[in-house]
Structure 1
Amino acid sequence: MTTAEASTAPAAPLLLARDLRLTFPGRRGAPPARAVDGVDLALAPGEILALVGESGCGKTTLARTLLGLARPTSGEVAFGGAALDYRSRALKAYRKRVQLVLQDPSGSLNPRHTVYDAVAEGLRIHGFDGDERAAVAEALSRAGLRPPERFFLRYPHELSGGQRQRVVIAGALVLGPELIVADEPVASLDASVRGEILALLLQLRDELGLSALVVTHDLGLAWNIADRVAVMYLGRIVESGPVEDVLTSPRHPYTQALLSVLPEAAGAPVVLTGEPPDPSRIPSGCRFHARCQVLASGRAEAAGVADRCRTEALPVLPAGSDTAQVACHWATATEQP
């Protein structure tokens, strides 16, 4: 490869999942639950990827598996080009480079710890031998709590919800991670504060080159913050690609349904019947077909794919594509020239 070609080649993924699967044993003789059931996912350096789906679709379980908090039944997680090592010392080093930001700051902050101690906890766990006070101050400042010394001796109950979430983010930043995994990072915040936290995540990406995997049920949030989006249903990614492609021209009926309920959406919302199927009883064919508005309306029948929707399984979508990908018999059939 020439120097010019190297400069234009896409960056190697920072985080990569290959055919990732996580199965939980069934209770009292029930079939095993396939919570993550074949996922390929790639996250580039400096990229924000939104992982979107209903509650129960497997997105939080997938995030925990990517963090090394759950060991996959099969498949592989790689970070920085190296397969994840599940020995305790290696996992400790990995979690210094990959930090978790939880949904509820009130639940993730010890009410008896000051802000200073909450942020310094990670440094102490990892045996930091530098200037602890300076590191805590810098992390709080990066998270928008300035002057940081003003917050050192305050307790969580003395802070607003937005300030508590900034403390949680500072606790992740203090270790200098390359990636943060944010699980519903603004779901518990007032609407007036949500924009501030999302703007902070974008600022951290721009200033620090920080990558982020943002787990959310909110496609509106994905539109505001993400470079790419992956839509998850019943343990699988069913549509993925650049956020502009997926959210302005959704191809999967599930993505279309999720977008239809946004306040700014045109037309009537699509009401999905029932709950997502039990992951221990994944249906044959397309796993969305029992709730699919396209199949119910007869459009899949008109396209000649209704039987395939009910009986023919779809392959795992490839990871890291620069173009939008969809796992849907109807979308594939209707888009053919």
Structure 2
Amino acid sequence: MSARVSPDGSTATAGDGATPLLSAEGLRVVFPGRRGAPPARAVDGVDLDVGAGEIVALVGESGCGKTTLARSLLGLVRPTGGTVRFAGAPLAYTGKALKAYRKRAQLVLQDPSGSLNPRHTVYDAVAEGLRIHGYAGDERAAVAEALSRAGLRPPERFFLRYPHELSGGQRQRVVIAGALVLEPELIVADEPVASLDASVRGEILALLLRLRDELGLSALVVTHDLGLAWNIADRVAVMYLGRIVETGPVESVLTNPRHPYTQALLSVLPESEGEPVVLTGEPPDPARIPSGCRFHVRCQVLASGAADAVADRCRTEDLPVLGGGGRSAAACHWARQG
């Protein structure tokens, strides 16, 4: 069992409180290297829980492993190591088990245009999941209810439309309706508003919140935008180079960030006070993860000399995996000394 780190740096075991709806423990996804290169550790030891009726934001730069982690949680990428559990039961990777699981956990992608077949009507796009899973009820009524829940009313007005006849926001609502029609318990939304105009983004976020309140739906929202996390999430997990480096209730993390990486991400938000932190370089290659703290080569606190007391540890001593539950914690030698 992986070590869990509490806010004071002590460790505890998982299992406190109710069983999470979705849980990952020690999750690893390693891709083979090309032409003799070392394997890439895209997800390198992650514990992450999503409770019933909870919205968790998974935040980080492009290339940090967020999407690979999300896809592995849905069984779309088989982990190299670790365990995924849904409602307490380990995820099985047989075709039958995965088909049953994907009825309960649905993916919503960032590009609604790419998610919808341009030759299919809205009705067929939403009904596709029902047909795949052999739905025996009233298909027309189920499609109408899903469209209505997604905010497309009256739903019959959209049945025979094609994606090119819809706005970007309407297309994203169709994608969400296609997930809702199977009555899932969890949705994983990968950058759900990244391709939308600012005027529409708030509507889609409000929709996700309403679905949580009305249906008890859980959600893992994958995003690079901490502002989005602030508006929608109950809890946030900040990811860097394959690991969760800070986690906790959204207000705690975003008003009092402890990890220098989280501080840097927050500093560039328009409403942030003070000077923005410009991180040097790109995140390291996941095939060549630095020793010690994986952020130390870009860390603005270490570079400024403020972390000289722990500088050697930052460069050489690895940090334990953060717990996946609700406790606030940061994988940072400098934060833990405070």
- In structure 2, C-alpha distance between the alignment counterparts of 1:162 and 1:219, rounded to whole Å: 21
Q: Unaligned 5+ residue runs, structure 1?
A: 1-8
Residue in structure 2 matching 1:221, options 205, 222, 228: 228
User: Which structure would you say has the larger RCO, counting Cα contacts within 8 Å and 6 or more residues apart?
Assistant: 2
| Aligned-residue offset at 1:238 | 0.1
- 1:276-313 deviation digits (Å, cap 9, x = unpaired): 00000000000000000000000011xx1000001100
Determine if the alignment matches structure 1 residue 150 to structure 2 residue 154: no
Determine if the alignment matches structure 1 residue 118 to structure 2 residue 125: yes
Corresponding position of 1:316: 321
Residue in structure 2 matching 1:266, options 261, 273, 296: 273
- In structure 1, C-alpha distance between the alignment counterparts of 2:41 and 2:330, rounded to whole Å: 21
- 1:161-215 deviation digits (Å, cap 9, x = unpaired): 0000000000000000000000000000000000000000000000000000000
| Aligned-residue offset at 1:154 | 0.4
- 1:23-62 deviation digits (Å, cap 9, x = unpaired): 0111111110000000000110000000000000000000
Provide the secondary structure at the position in 1 that maps to 2:187: strand
Does structure 2 retain, via aligned residues, the 8 Å contact 1:11–1:45? no
Provide the secondary structure at the position in 1 that maps to 2:307: helix
- Write out aligned runs for 1:14-163 (5 A): 14-163=21-170
| Aligned-residue offset at 1:11 | 2.7
| Aligned-residue offset at 1:106 | 0.3
- In structure 2, C-alpha distance between the alignment counterparts of 1:191 and 1:276, rounded to whole Å: 28
Corresponding position of 1:5: none
Does structure 2 retain, via aligned residues, the 8 Å contact 1:260–1:269? yes
Q: Which moved more, 1:312-321 or 1:40-49?
A: 312-321
Q: Unaligned 5+ residue runs, structure 2?
A: 1-15
Provide the secondary structure at the position in 1 that maps to 2:248: strand
Corresponding position of 2:7: none
- In structure 1, C-alpha distance between the alignment counterparts of 2:44 and 2:186, rounded to whole Å: 24
Determine if the alignment matches structure 1 residue 299 to structure 2 residue 303: no
- In structure 2, C-alpha distance between the alignment counterparts of 1:51 and 1:219, rounded to whole Å: 9
RMSD: 0.7
Structure 1 runs of 4+ off > 2 angstroms?
Answer: none
Corresponding position of 1:181: 188
- In structure 2, C-alpha distance between the alignment counterparts of 1:177 and 1:106, rounded to whole Å: 22
Provide the secondary structure at the position in 1 that maps to 2:297: helix
What amino acid does structure 1 have at the position aligned with 2:302?
L
- In structure 2, C-alpha distance between the alignment counterparts of 1:119 and 1:26, rounded to whole Å: 38
| Aligned-residue offset at 1:112 | 0.5
Provide the secondary structure at the position in 2 that maps to 1:194: helix
What amino acid does structure 2 have at the position aligned with 1:195?
G
What amino acid does structure 2 have at the position aligned with 1:326?
A
- In structure 2, C-alpha distance between the alignment counterparts of 1:34 and 1:187, rounded to whole Å: 26
- Identical amino acids, percent of aligned pairs: 84
Provide the secondary structure at the position in 1 that maps to 2:70: helix
- 1:91-137 deviation digits (Å, cap 9, x = unpaired): 00000000000000000000000000000000000000100000000
- In structure 2, C-alpha distance between the alignment counterparts of 1:139 and 1:277, rounded to whole Å: 43
| Aligned-residue offset at 1:318 | 1.0
Determine if the alignment matches structure 1 residue 243 to structure 2 residue 247: no
What amino acid does structure 2 have at the position aligned with 1:328?
C
